[in-house]
Amino acid sequence: MKTQEINGEVRSTRFKQKKLIARTIDDELLLFDEETSNAHCLNGIAGEMWMACERASTAVEVADVLRTQWPDMEKEVVWASLSRMAAAGLLEETIDEENISTARRDLIRKIGLTAAIVLPIVVTSVLIPSPAAAASCASFGQSCATKPCCPGAGLGCVAGFCVNLH
Amino acid sequence: MMRPDRFMLFKAENGAVAAVVLAGSWRRPSPPPEMPREILTKVSSLLIAGGGAALTWFRIRHHKSEFSQSVLNPYREAYIGSAASAAAHEVELDRLLQALNAAGIRSILLKGWSVGRLYPESGLRPSGDIDLWIDPAQRAQASEVLKRVASGRQSVDLDHDQFRRFENRSFDDFYASCDTVYLGSTPIKVLRREDQTRILCLHFLKHGGWRPIWLCDIAVLLESSNTAFNWELCLGSDARRARWVGCTIALARDLLGTRIPRGAPRCVTSSPPGWFTRTILREFSNPSASNATSFALLLPELSFHPWRLKSAMRGRWRNPIQATVDCNSAFDELPRWPYQLWDGIVRTHRCLRSFKQLA
């Protein structure tokens, strides 16, 4: 029964890349979500999975693509990996609601993620400070607790904030 | 390589260690770490705050087995963050430059990506503002264009007092000698190597030598090409400022092992004054920059917290480098406290005058 349910999920769920900034660093895929300021680093195989979702694809279709490099790739493993990436906000997930109910979907996801499937993917997520926080100096109204007020603009650090002094 | 003296070890040990970690780290292949893990743990917060953590990761990432995960993780996360920020920075820069170019607006990209592109990988230095120097005659038009196309996620800085303060050459003069580089297919004007070295050195000094990554930028730029380096262009005609720039380059050599282009004049080859190196190492040891808050606000602050006199005074002095640059004075062996004192008086006077105007 569980196997049938997973098969249904594997065939009825489609995954599509979210609009993220993607770059290859070392042999990993870096994805940056500017909306949430979250960066995610995917290892080689996870990166390939994400890249294979350029158009909405099922786990079966993605597994077919991956088998050129990893012949033993199981569609269930791909599905569980893609679900995990979707949960991390890297993929959009669409499900044929006629075929599978939300309750079943949740159940199957739970089974998929907690069963003895060892996922080959590694996702490292990092929250990125805003560009203003990375700037070399603080401008008017910004905190000067950890960086100086920008010189030349007549700013001074008062009570922890840059204010105009002349 | 510099050997820190006793004073440095006492006052600025961590800064010297941070410099040792960063020395040569931008080269490919980067030098083997050859440092105990305690060192990397000790200076991780300094390097993260000073912008050098991603570069440190670049140096140690092929030697992961020598370090524990707890040592590696902060550097790897900083690298991921820096690479992500750089990618977003490039997307925005491309959009802005395309719009400015299409509108026929002349601009020069300063710092940021213009030097970041010279590192072996994108994202080895943190990306901050997009610093654009716009043709003064087109400034209003440029502001309109930027308002229309900028995403608002990256801040764009069009004000660069540095040129007004330190340069007597015009925008046209700089623009005429710019190099054109490409981000994807978008042409971007950047200062030629000699001008950029000078600008980076003066920017570093203006901020009191606060961030180690800025010294790495200078090192990367100097090592970025084997072509002849025109020292006259870089140092300029003002002997005092030539020495400022020369001391900064000498510091990059002494602290980071930077290979200096051939033919350097004496103002570069001779050692910088002791106070200069000590100040830099102290700044490198300090994860947050000294704020140099107003003297005029000292009394109100002390009326609430009189026991904080010592710390309140300390935070109000500009460091010896900033004070010397603000006073347009020489980098010689004389003590710096008169400049710091004078700088404090000038700033206090300026502040009181503005209060008077407000009243």
ipTM exceeding 0.85, yes/no: no
Q: CA nearest B194: which of B240, B263, B255?
A: B263
For position A150, what pLDDT does the model report? 66
Residue B90 C-beta-side C-alpha neighbours within 13 Å: 23
Secondary-structure breakdown of chain B: helix, strand, coil percentages, each rounded to the nearest 5: 60, 5, 35
pTM across the whole model: 0.83
Is some CB atom of chain A closer than 8 A to the CB atom of B70?
no
Looking only at the bridges linking them, the beta strands covering B130-134 and B156-157 are: parallel
Chain A residues bordering chain B (beta-carbon distance below 8 Å): 21-23, 25-26, 30, 32, 34, 39, 41, 124, 126, 128-132, 134-137, 139, 144-149, 151-153, 156-158, 165-166
Residues 6+ apart with CB under 8 A from A113: A80, A83, A84
Q: How far apart are CA B103 and CA B356, in angstroms?
A: 44
Nearest residue on chain A to B84, alpha-carbon basis: A32
Distance, CA of B198 to CA of B206 (rounded, Å): 12
Rounded distance between C-alpha atoms, residue A158 and residue A149, angstroms:
10
Top-confidence range, A76-80, B12-16, B103-107: B103-107
Residue B60 near residue B21 (C-beta atoms within 8 A) = no
Contact B84 A128 (CB under 8 A): yes
**How far is it, in rounded angstroms, from Cα A81 to Cα A73?**
12
User: A32–B87: do the CB atoms touch at under 8 Å?
Assistant: yes
Residues 6+ apart with CB under 8 A from A117: A76, A77, A80
Q: Name the band, by pLDDT with cuts 50, 70 and 90, for residue B25.
A: very high
Q: What does each C-alpha distance from A131 to A141, B154, B182, B268, B301 come to in angstroms?
A: 16, 6, 23, 34, 32
- Determine which of A119-123, B86-90, B192-196 has the lowest per-residue pLDDT on average: A119-123
Please report, rounded to a whole number, the percentage of residues in chain A having pLDDT higher than 70.
57
| One-letter amino acid of B352 | L
Chain A touched by B120 (CB under 8 Å): no
* Cα–Cα distance measured from residue B106 to residue B180, given in angstroms and rounded to the nearest whole number: 12
Give the helix/strand (H/E) hosting B313.
Answer: helix B309-314
State the Cα angle at B22 between B20 and B28, rounded to 5°.
Answer: 125
Q: How confident is the model at residue A115 (pLDDT cuts 50, 70, 90)?
A: very low
Kindly report, residue by residue over A36-62, the tens digit of the pLDDT. Answer: 889 999 998 999 999 999 988 999 999
Instruction: Answer whether A128 sits within 8 Å of B353, measured CB to CB.
Output: no
Q: Which two tokens stand for residue B191?
A: 């200062």
> Which letter does DSSP use for residue A129 in this model?
P
